[in-house]
Amino acid sequence: MIVVTEKLLRKVGAHCGGSYLMVKQAGGAIEVNPANVRKLAKESPSFTVWLLARNPELCKAMIDAGANVNTRDKDGRTALVYARALRNKETVALLKAAGGKR
């Protein structure tokens, strides 16, 4: 089990503000604890949106753990909006395949 902390998340350009996810490496892939994804979405929807949009590997792990890809940040934007703005084609494809909307 790896604790994904603010320091680690800075590597993907995100700021966690004290929140965390518990993940484990499984054969090179990231697995995220579903209970923590739900907790994070409830406590910080904006951060959840940012995580989903920022990094394809983490996005996939969060989707696999049950993250709602249509969670909206404080401005009403979804992860798909940000992934498109970042020109992150892999993440856009993941979010669309999971039912992501603008």
Q: What is the pLDDT of residue 79?
A: 93
Is domain 2-97 classified as CATH 1.10.1760?
no
Residue spans of the domains in the chain: they are: 2-97
The mean per-residue pLDDT over the stretch 24-38 comes to 66
With the C-alpha atoms ordered 11, 85, 39, 42, is the resulting torsion angle positive or negative?
positive
What is residue 42's predicted lDDT score, i.e. its pLDDT?
Answer: 78
| pLDDT > 90? residue 100 | yes
Is residue 64 a contact partner of residue 23, using CB atoms and an 8 Å limit? no
Averaged confidence pLDDT in the chain: 76
Q: What is the pLDDT of residues 66-94, one digit of tens each?
A: 889 999 988 999 999 999 999 999 999 99
> How far is 61 from 67, CA to CA, in rounded Å?
9
